[in-house]
Amino acid sequence: MNEKLSVLKNECLKCKACELGKSRTNVVFGDGNDNAKIVFIGEAPGANEDLQGKPFVGRSGKLLDEMCESVGLSRNTNIYIANTVKCRPPENRDPSPYEQRACAGWLKGQLEIMRPLIIVCVGRIAAQEVIGKDFSISRQHGEFFRHGKMYLTAVYHPAAVLRNINLKPATVEDLKKVRELYDKITAG
Query: For the packed helices 59-69 and 168-187, what is the interaxial angle rounded to 10 degrees?
Result: 50
Contact call for residue 28 and ligand SF4 (CB under 6 A): no
Least distance in Å: CB of 81 to ligand SF4?
16
DSSP string, 126-188: HHHHHT-TT--HHHHTT--EEETTEEEEEE--HHHHHH-GGGHHHHHHHHHHHHHHHHHHHH-
Q: Does position 17 bind ligand SF4 by CB under 6 A? A: yes
Out of 8, 79, 102, 161, which residue is the one contacting ligand SF4 (CB under 6 A)?
Answer: 102
Q: How many residues bind ligand SF4 (CB under 6 A)?
A: 15
CB of 11 or CB of 66, closer to ligand SF4: 11
Q: Rule CB under 6 A: say whether 41 interacts with ligand SF4.
A: no
Helices 97-114, 3-12: inter-axial angle, 10-degree rounding: 160
DSSP per-residue letters across 6-20 = HHHHHHHTT--SSTH
By beta carbon distance, the residue nearest ligand SF4 is 21
Neighbours of 153 (CB within 10 A): 22
Nearer to ligand SF4, 20 or 122 (CB): 20
Residues 119-138 that bind ligand SF4 (CB under 6 A): none
CB-nearer residue toward ligand SF4: 71 or 111: 111
Binding site for ligand SF4 (CB under 6 A): 12, 15-18, 20-21, 27, 85-87, 99, 102-103, 106
